[in-house]
């Protein structure tokens, strides 16, 4: 278990790796183990990735795994304020609490879980997904219209790939990569990681925007105290996490968003969310660890895994000759309880270890951005490669979403609604169609639980709109910080125009499809065009207000460009594009170290010795960690075959490609 925990901490901390990959790597070693030992190893790893993924979320504004996306909204601003240790203290405490909470619920609910599973069919899951979408209201930052549009764009992107009910493909443009729904990891890394790295590189700043004050150990204890102060929030979010884990079909990626949305909406004083409110860290971190225990319940009791991670654990169960079902509560009860204890101890152990290391990790916040950017670029690119089906399409996705994320960030478009739409789109369409077809119409709308959830949707919507109105009345500072609150009407107009184009083309294409294929994209795209026109008008009004202050159009455009650091940002994006293009020619193992060398030497003005050392270390990571340890499939570049032909037969070509 300790080995599993240590590997799990590493897998969670590096963006793009995650617990699923860790379990896949360890799975072959468990084939000949005793069941209890096998599960100690695998569960030890699986349980703690949601604890250590906080590190990247807080320090870099990059989700370590899909389960820690919402943590960045307040964790990263805390790091910017030099309060990373406090964020860690709170996050690790509630992670351990959430993990133990989930394990206890697993232990006591196994014999009585059947009614919960049977009460949540497609209609209920559809309504629950709608409830998740309504959270957009509390994640929209300054503009509900832009938040809604972000969500609609996410929903539209989720329709890429095979349709739900017939074998017809949507928006593939004859590329293999788009035959399936876009993988979440490259999209999320692009949306969040690339803009943050770009900011560090372009402005040449450290993560912490304050002077290097002494980060005393007491700061971690501040976070622990915060966790205890908000114990009721942590308990509620742990319960939400466990419950969502139990339900097959929602998935771990949504848990932290729902918990975050709940924290915002249930708080009377919520104006600091998105600017470094510790409750914005506590809520998702309590939930994402609790979901592990919850997801194990249906997997053990019925063989119905609640997530991909539990599906792999289920596979391990079968490999060692066990079957889920009643036997796990009778003859194999000791194995079930060994899982519970593993979850408990692994969560506590990981939190303890990470608290010991947290102060050292927090010091990264004061390191020059130029030293952080190259290394993180390597992990972000390789994380996207790994999470995006090891294809060049994953890097193109990363870059496209990176540009989109940058434009959204600098022009006041909140990014979380887009992610929410992306995650929930498939679930919403799939479960809606299943509900209609299985019930031969809309009779399912009168089911009691559906009506109850519909009521919750309406209440949530009401409070979301009310909250935004109150916030607008109370806001006086135009340059308010936080997600979706930046003001740049010129750049925002460009985004609006681009969206009108995207939604129009999507509608035009969808008109050609049979109704069951084209209905969902049309339901999304047609209203989106109207809403985009409204936001474009709002941006136009904003630009006109600027014009009245300074009646020179060129000056306004120049100011917008300067405010967004557009010129240097475009150069940075060009460098990333260069990475992709050069990879086609010479492969990743050479391109990424070369990029790091060039970045440090020419962009960062660092010494050549440092640049060479950094590049060599990155090459070692690529070759020995990603290639030899993880066995990752690298891109086969154009020069590989010709070079292999002239190199000696025994030359280890894996050192280069």
Partner 1 sequence: MKRFIFIFMFVAAACFLFSSNSRAVDFSGKRIEIIVSAGAGGGLTRNARVFAKHFSKHIPGNPTVVVKNIPGGGGQKGINFVYTKGRKDGTQIVYGPMNFVGINVGLAGIKYVPKKFKLLGFAGATPFVTIVRKDIKGGINSREDIMQKSGFVTGGRIPGGNLGLLSRMPFAILGIKNRFVVGYKNQPKLKAAMMQNEIQALTTGNVGYFVFYLNDTLKKGNGVALFSHPSFDVVTGKFRQSPHIKGVPRFTDFYAKLKGGEPSGDAWEAYKWKVSYDTFSSSMYMHPDTPDNITRVLQKAWKDNWNDPAMQKRFIKRNKAMLVTLQGAAAAKVIEGALSMSPGAKRYFSAELGIAKKSRKKK
Residues binding partner 1 (CB under 8 A)? 20, 24, 27-28, 31, 114, 117-122, 161-169, 172, 176-177, 179-180, 248-249, 298, 302-305, 308, 311-312, 314-315, 318-319, 321, 323-327, 389-391, 430, 433-434, 437-438, 440, 511-516, 518, 631, 633, 636, 652, 654
- Token pair for residue 117? 């599973």
CA geometry: angle at 125 spanning 124 and 130, to 5°?
Answer: 95
C-alpha 20/C-alpha 387 separation (Å) is 10
Nearer to partner 1, 276 or 521 (CB): 521
Please state the closest distance from residue 300 (CB atom) to partner 1, in A: 11
Nearer to partner 1, 214 or 446 (CB): 446
C-beta separation of 56 from 50 below 8 A: no
Please state the closest distance from residue 510 (CB atom) to partner 1, in A: 10
C-alpha 420/C-alpha 134 separation (Å) is 10
Nearer to partner 1, 117 or 364 (CB): 117
The number of C-alpha atoms within 13 Å of 644 and in the hemisphere containing its C-beta is 13
CA distances from 36 to 41, 42, 99, 293, 597 (A): 9, 10, 19, 17, 47
Please state the closest distance from residue 122 (CB atom) to partner 1, in A: 6
Question: In angstroms, how far is CA 201 from the centroid of its own chain?
Answer: 22
Please state the closest distance from residue 630 (CB atom) to partner 1, in A: 9
Burial of 20 from C-beta contacts in 10 A (0-12 / 13-18 / 19+): buried
CA geometry: angle at 378 spanning 374 and 381, to 5°?
Answer: 130
Nearer to partner 1, 298 or 402 (CB): 298
Nearer to partner 1, 437 or 466 (CB): 437
Nearer to partner 1, 126 or 603 (CB): 126
DSSP helix/strand/coil, 165: coil
Nearer to partner 1, 497 or 638 (CB): 638
Please state the closest distance from residue 171 (CB atom) to partner 1, in A: 13
CA geometry: angle at 202 spanning 393 and 83, to 5°?
Answer: 100
Which DSSP string do the residues of 395-438 spell out, in sequence order?
HHHHHHHHHHHHHHHHTT--SHHHHHHHHHHHHHHHHHHHHHHH
Please state the closest distance from residue 34 (CB atom) to partner 1, in A: 14
Contacts of 600 (CB under 8 A, 6+ apart): 370, 371, 374, 606, 610, 611, 614, 615
Question: In angstroms, how far is CA 63 from the centroid of its own chain?
Answer: 5
Please state the closest distance from residue 165 (CB atom) to partner 1, in A: 6
Please state the closest distance from residue 124 (CB atom) to partner 1, in A: 9
Signed CA dihedral, 4, 7, 10, 12: sign only: negative
CA distances from 454 to 373, 446, 490 (A): 45, 10, 39
Cβ-based neighbour number of residue 174 at 10 Å: 7
Please state the closest distance from residue 502 (CB atom) to partner 1, in A: 22
The residue count of the chain comes to 657
Nearer to partner 1, 118 or 605 (CB): 118
The number of C-alpha atoms within 13 Å of 599 and in the hemisphere containing its C-beta is 32
Please state the closest distance from residue 631 (CB atom) to partner 1, in A: 4
Please state the closest distance from residue 293 (CB atom) to partner 1, in A: 18
Please state the closest distance from residue 468 (CB atom) to partner 1, in A: 35
DSSP helix/strand/coil, 303: coil
Nearer to partner 1, 323 or 533 (CB): 323
C-alpha 568/C-alpha 74 separation (Å) is 27
Nearer to partner 1, 313 or 486 (CB): 313
- Token pair for residue 295? 């997801």
Please state the closest distance from residue 306 (CB atom) to partner 1, in A: 9
Nearer to partner 1, 316 or 543 (CB): 316
Nearer to partner 1, 551 or 642 (CB): 642
Nearer to partner 1, 179 or 545 (CB): 179
Nearer to partner 1, 303 or 527 (CB): 303
Please state the closest distance from residue 216 (CB atom) to partner 1, in A: 43
C-alpha 87/C-alpha 365 separation (Å) is 13
Can you name the residues that pair with 642 across neighbouring β-strands? Answer: none
- Token pair for residue 132? 């998740």
Residue 252 DSSP one-character state: G
Which DSSP string do the residues of 274-293 spell out, in sequence order?
TSS-THHHHHHHHHHHHHHH
CA distances from 616 to 92, 356, 623, 631 (A): 33, 29, 10, 20
Buried (b) or exposed (e) across 534-570, using 16+ Cβ within 10 A? ebbebbeebbeebeeeeeeeeebeeebbebbbbeebb
């Amino acid at each position: 278990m300790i080995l599993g925990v240590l590997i799990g901490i590493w897998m969670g901390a590096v963006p793009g790796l995650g617990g699923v990959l860790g379990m896949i790597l360890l799975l072959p070693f468990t084939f000949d183990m005793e069941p209890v030992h096998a599960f100690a190893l695998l569960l030890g790893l699986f349980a703690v990735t949601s604890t250590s993924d906080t590190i990247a979320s807080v320090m870099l504004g990059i989700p370590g795994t899909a389960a820690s996306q919402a943590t960045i909204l307040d964790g990263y601003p805390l790091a910017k304020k030099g309060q990373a240790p406090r964020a860690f203290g709170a996050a690790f405490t509630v992670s351990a609490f959430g993990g133990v909470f989930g394990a206890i619920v697993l232990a006591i609910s196994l014999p009585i879980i059947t009614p919960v599973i049977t009460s949540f069919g497609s209609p209920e899951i559809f309504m629950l997904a709608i409830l998740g979408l309504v959270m957009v209201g509390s994640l929209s930052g300054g503009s509900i219209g832009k938040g809604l549009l972000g969500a609609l764009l996410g929903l539209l992107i989720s329709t890429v790939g095979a349709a739900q009910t017939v074998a017809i493909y949507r928006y593939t443009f004859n590329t293999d990569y788009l035959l399936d729904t876009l993988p979440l990891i490259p999209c999320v890394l692009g949306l969040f990681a690339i803009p943050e790295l770009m900011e560090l590189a372009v402005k040449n700043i450290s993560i912490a925007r304050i002077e290097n004050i002494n980060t005393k150990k007491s700061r971690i204890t501040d976070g622990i105290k915060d966790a205890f102060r908000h114990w009721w929030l942590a308990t509620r979010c742990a319960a939400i996490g466990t419950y969502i884990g139990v339900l097959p079909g929602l998935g771990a990626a949504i848990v932290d968003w729902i918990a975050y949305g709940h924290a915002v909406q249930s708080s009377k004083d919520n104006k600091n969310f998105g600017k470094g409110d510790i409750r914005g860290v506590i809520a998702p971190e309590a939930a994402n660890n609790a979901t592990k225990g919850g997801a194990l319940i249906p997997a053990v009791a019925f063989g119905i895994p609640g997530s991909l991670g539990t599906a792999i654990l289920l596979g391990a169960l079968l490999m060692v000759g066990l079957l889920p079902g009643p036997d796990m509560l009778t003859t194999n009860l000791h194995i079930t309880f060994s899982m519970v204890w593993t979850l408990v101890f692994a969560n506590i152990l990981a939190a303890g270890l990470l608290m010991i290391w947290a102060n050292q990790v927090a010091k990264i916040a004061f390191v020059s951005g130029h030293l952080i950017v190259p290394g993180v670029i390597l992990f972000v690119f390789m994380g996207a490669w790994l999470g995006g089906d090891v294809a060049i399409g994953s890097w193109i996705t990363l870059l496209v979403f990176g540009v989109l994320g940058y434009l959204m960030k600098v022009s006041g478009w909140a990014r979380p609604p887009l992610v929410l739409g992306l995650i929930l789109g498939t679930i919403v369409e799939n479960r809606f169609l299943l509900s209609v077809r299985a019930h031969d119409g809309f009779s399912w709308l009168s089911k009691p639980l559906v009506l109850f959830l519909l009521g919750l949707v309406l209440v949530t919507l009401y409070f979301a709109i009310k909250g935004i109105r109150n916030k607008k009345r109370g806001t006086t500072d135009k340059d308010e910080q936080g997600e979706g609150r930046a003001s740049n009407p010129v750049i925002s107009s460009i985004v609006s125009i681009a969206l009108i184009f995207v939604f129009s083309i999507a509608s035009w294409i969808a008109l050609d499809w049979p109704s069951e294929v084209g209905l969902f994209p049309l339901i999304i795209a047609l209203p989106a065009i109207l809403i985009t026109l409204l936001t474009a008008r709002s941006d136009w009004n904003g630009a006109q207000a600027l014009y009245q202050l300074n009646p020179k159009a060129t000056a306004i455009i120049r100011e917008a460009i300067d405010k967004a650091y557009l010129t240097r940002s475009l150069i940075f994006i060009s460098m990333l594009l260069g990475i992709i293009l050069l990879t086609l020619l010479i492969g990743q193992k050479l391109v990424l170290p070369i990029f790091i060398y060039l970045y440090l030497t020419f962009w960062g003005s660092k010494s050549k010795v440092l640049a060479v050392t950094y590049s060599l270390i990155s090459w070692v990571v690529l070759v020995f960690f990603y290639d030899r340890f993880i066995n990752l499939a690298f891109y086969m570049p154009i020069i590989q075959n010709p070079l292999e032909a002239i190199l000696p037969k025994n030359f280890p070509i894996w050192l280069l490609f």
